[in-house]
Amino acid sequence: MRKNRILAAMAMAAMTFVSCSTDYETKAGRETERKVEDLLGKMTLEEKIGQMNQLSPWDFGELAAKVRNGEVGSILNYTDPELVDSIQRIAVEESRLGIPLLVARDVVHGYKTILPIPLGQAATFNPEIVEKGARMAATEASSDGVRWTFAPMIDIARDPRWGRIAESCGEDPYLTSVMGAAMIRGFQGDSLSDPSSLAACAKHFVAYGAAEGGRDYNSTYIPERLLRNVYLPPFKSAVDAGCASFMTSFNDNDGVPSTANSFVLRNILRDEWKFDGMVVSDWTSISEMIVHGFCTDATDAAEKAVNAGVDMDMVSEAYINHLAASVKEGNVSMNTIDDAVRNILRLKFRLGLFESPYVSTSQEVKYCDEHLEIARKAAEQSVILLKNSQETLPLSDRTGTIAVAGPMADAPYEQLGTWVFDGEKSYTQTPLEALRALYGDKVDIIYEPGLCYSRDKSMSGIAKAVAAAGKADVIIAFLGEEAILSGEAHSLANVELQGAQTELLRALSKTGKPLVTVIMAGRPLVITEEAEISDAVLYSFHPGTMGGPAIADILFGKVNPSGKTPVTFPRMLGQIPVYYAQNQTGRPANAEEMLIEEIPVEAGQTSVGCRSFYLDAGTSPLFPFGYGLSYTSFEYSGLDLPAGSIPRDGELTFSVNLKNAGKHDGTEIVQVYVQDKAGSVTRPVKELKAFQRIFLKKGESRRVSFSVPVSELAFWGYDMKYGVDPGDFTLWVGTSSANGLSADFNVY
Ligand code: BGC
């Protein structure tokens, strides 16, 4: 009797919690809740736990039996529409309650038409093209019956050794928040119930990108303040953008696996942020808590995960095998199960699956012209011009002969990048093909790759490539990484170019011909020597299906590059982790450091300067965050931040004059950084707070205005409260994190 009363009270509490979310204020929201409660009321405990079970199908017959029996709520990795409909028909027409399945797939940067990897999309600093790209991917994937994608990945990634940096939007919380929200808007469209929409999934919750040493799946040690100031903001933005689901991460943070971390899953995600979507574990991350040494067996793992707030078990089958007994034994409350099932059913209702469970393939959208054009634009905007001495690029007026070399010039599979399950390489347009097709009537192209693939160590082809270069007027070397070298479980201890690529480049440079290096990779590689010996360098994070034409048009100046680095490029491996928004130290480096070659023999202990830097790598990275050149030049002047103090609830309003002072039309990413000069805790040297993409014709000027709410300067301070510290700040407006016009302001 007493137990019943407690359960009833808990149920009431759950209802109260549920009613917190804004959606329930609307008529449609209330109607959805009513349907959820009606259905929940009809379900047995076993059927409820069945909804919490996600499987990656193996044998159709076996799966069908489980679906018919109400033991499965979701499947992943079915992409044949006929198969999707066959299994859905069993769920809808043959299971007792007819609850449709949620069909999931990792649609990470395109489904069939492949966009640049997310790190490349972040380099566009253009949320509009990113949103369009995600919409395109949703349209293609949903035409095969997929309605839930495990994207966006919004882990802050500050270590290029970690292969999954490729899937991230880089090192910055603000840029990642903006890009993640754009992807969510694109995937989910105007309405989740539109059959062409995918439910998005913000992953991996949380701190996964901080894996020790960049080794995938490894432990993280992120204290709460850093978690809240750096790793959580993109996830909060995801909730604000209406993200339908979250995925827990594989890592343990300070000893607690994310899949059992009720502090982040319940206190932060549900109670503080009022998230009413669904939480799924990562692939077997529930049962892996046994291997972590955090759970004794699968029952323990299932209980810890569900009690912490994981609604759905991705393929470990710990829930389906053990939760019913756990409920009966009182280790998991019925209320906990009901809440999880509510979250799952709510998503199914929001997706309109009960009304339209079957695949709606009204038109063929895969690889359609419109999608190829979106992928091409995204690729164009993602390419970063890192170096351009003596205006080596563009090649616009060049005639004569071009030697094309390198293992990435014609590697249709590799340029697609990581996490491509569905895109076919036969649709890829490589740089070599595009150069021939688009510019072959203007220039003669000799192709001698020199190496067969990025890890190729054989020197036997290099002489031929050099001989071809000798006959050419300019050399373009396409270097980089094969797709398999980045992505999940593909961490590297050495992030320099693999194989004999550097040897190839050295040999090509010895010809004395103008040397353009184009790098296609899944991470920021250490390319210090390669940049030094090249006359021009273009960096393209794996650019996807349309990378070829995008790069060819940039090389020939039809398109002016506008990408900016979404992540800092290290000068040397040992600089990692290196990122721009590091905290202010008590002994920051300045330009006076003595480097290793300058130190006299028997130098005095303090003669090199007692500041924070490496004797052998200096004080700066190879390329800072937010960096990228253009064929034109932009001049900043007249920053007019009004003097005086601004209230904490005010707006920081300012403008700057931007002039295209060069010889080409072009786009500049105007970036705004802020430093809090003295906080209740030490603050980053600079933090990105806003940016705008501005296109200017040559000779054109424009005043670019910003209005940044002062609340954007808030952080979690000494007392672990969130707020803006009154006091002095510096603001920079400029072309990268490393320079800009500055002005001081005060907040009271
Ligand atoms: C990855 C997730 C992915 C899942 C399903 C896991 O190994 O960590 O990012 O969504 O597999 O494929």
The pLDDT tens digits of the residues spanning 676-689 come to 999 999 999 999 99
Closest CA to 70 of 85, 48, 54: 48
Collapsing DSSP to helix, strand or coil, 480 comes out as strand
Distance between Cα 486 and ligand 1 center (Å): 14
Please give the single-letter amino acid code of residue 318.
A
The arithmetic mean of pLDDT across residues 138-151, rounded, is: 97
Lowest mean pLDDT among 22-36, 263-277, 323-337, 534-548: 22-36
Percent of the chain with pLDDT over 90: 93
pLDDT at 10: 37
Distance between Cα 81 and ligand 1 center (Å): 22
Which pLDDT tens digit goes with each residue over 568-590? 999 999 999 999 999 999 999 98
Three-state SS for 603-615 is CCCCCCCCCCCEC
Distance between Cα 131 and ligand 1 center (Å): 22
Closest CA to 733 of 668, 674, 685: 674
The pLDDT-based confidence of 21 (bands split at 50, 70, 90) is very low
**In angstroms, rounded to a whole number, what is the distance separating the alpha carbons of residues 351 and 311?**
17
Percent of the chain with pLDDT over 70: 97
Nearest CA to ligand 1 atom 2: 282
Tell me the whole-structure pTM to 2 decimals.
0.96
The pLDDT-based confidence of 362 (bands split at 50, 70, 90) is low
Distance between Cα 282 and ligand 1 center (Å): 6
Distance between Cα 430 and ligand 1 center (Å): 28
* Segments of 481-599 assigned E as strands: 515-521, 536-541
186: pLDDT strictly greater than 90: yes
Which pLDDT tens digit goes with each residue over 586-639? 999 987 888 899 999 999 998 888 999 999 998 899 999 999 999 999 999 999
Which pLDDT tens digit goes with each residue over 302-335? 999 999 999 999 999 999 999 999 999 999 999 9
Distance between Cα 576 and ligand 1 center (Å): 26
**In angstroms, rounded to a whole number, what is the distance separating the alpha carbons of residues 81 and 422?**
13
The pLDDT-based confidence of 76 (bands split at 50, 70, 90) is very high
pLDDT at 529: 98
250-284 b/e (C-beta count within 10 Å ≥ 16 → b):
bbbbeebbbbbbbebbeebbbeeeebbbbbbbbbb
pLDDT at 1: 34
Which pLDDT tens digit goes with each residue over 450-506? 999 999 999 999 999 999 999 999 999 999 999 999 999 999 999 999 999 999 999
284: pLDDT strictly greater than 70: yes
Q: How far is CA 660 from the centre of its chain?
A: 31
Distance between Cα 411 and ligand 1 center (Å): 26
Collapsing DSSP to helix, strand or coil, 352 comes out as coil
Distance between Cα 311 and ligand 1 center (Å): 16
Please give the single-letter amino acid code of residue 125.
F
Q: In this predicted model, which residue has the larger pLDDT, 104 or 12?
A: 104
CB of 106 sitting under 6 A from ligand 1: yes
pLDDT at 7: 37
Rounded to the nearest 10°, the torsion over CA 674, 679, 683, 687 is -20
CB of 203 sitting under 6 A from ligand 1: yes
CB of 150 sitting under 6 A from ligand 1: yes
pLDDT at 17: 35
pLDDT at 439: 97
Of ligand 1's listed atoms, the one at least distance from the Cα of 77 is 12
Nearest CA to ligand 1 atom 8: 282
Site to probe by mutation for ligand 1, drawn from 102, 420, 488 as the one with most ligand atoms within 8 Å of Cβ, is: 488
pLDDT at 57: 83
Distance between Cα 707 and ligand 1 center (Å): 38
Closest CA to 287 of 247, 321, 327, 246: 321
Of ligand 1's listed atoms, the one at least distance from the Cα of 167 is 9
CB of 288 sitting under 6 A from ligand 1: no
Which pLDDT tens digit goes with each residue over 363-418? 789 999 999 999 999 999 999 999 999 999 999 877 799 999 999 999 999 999 99
Distance between Cα 399 and ligand 1 center (Å): 48
H/E segment holding residue 703: strand 701-709
CB of 283 sitting under 6 A from ligand 1: yes
**In angstroms, rounded to a whole number, what is the distance separating the alpha carbons of residues 648 and 748?**
6
Contact 102, 147 (CB under 8 A): yes
Site to probe by mutation for ligand 1, drawn from 155, 201, 283, 287 as the one with most ligand atoms within 8 Å of Cβ, is: 283
pLDDT at 23: 67
14: pLDDT strictly greater than 90: no
Three-state SS for 233-263 is HHHHHHHHCCCCEEEECCCEECCEEHHHCHH
Nearest CA to ligand 1 atom 7: 283
86: pLDDT strictly greater than 50: yes
pLDDT at 643: 84
Distance between Cα 485 and ligand 1 center (Å): 17
Of ligand 1's listed atoms, the one at least distance from the Cα of 201 is 10
Q: Is 744 marked active-site?
A: no
CB of 282 sitting under 6 A from ligand 1: yes
Nearest CA to ligand 1 atom 12: 106
CB of 377 sitting under 6 A from ligand 1: no
Which pLDDT tens digit goes with each residue over 30-45? 999 999 999 999 999 9
Give me the residue label for tokens 């993640």: 180
How high does pLDDT run on average in the chain?
A: 95
Nearest CA to ligand 1 atom 6: 283
pLDDT at 413: 98
The pLDDT-based confidence of 648 (bands split at 50, 70, 90) is very high
Catalytic residue among 144, 155, 276, 282: 282
Nearest CA to ligand 1 atom 4: 283
CB of 410 sitting under 6 A from ligand 1: no
Of ligand 1's listed atoms, the one at least distance from the Cα of 250 is 8
pLDDT at 592: 82
Which residues have CB under 8 Å from 719's CB, separation 6+?
680
pLDDT at 389: 98
CB of 155 sitting under 6 A from ligand 1: no
pLDDT at 11: 37
Positive/negative CA dihedral, 620, 623, 625, 628 = positive
Distance between Cα 202 and ligand 1 center (Å): 12
CB of 448 sitting under 6 A from ligand 1: no
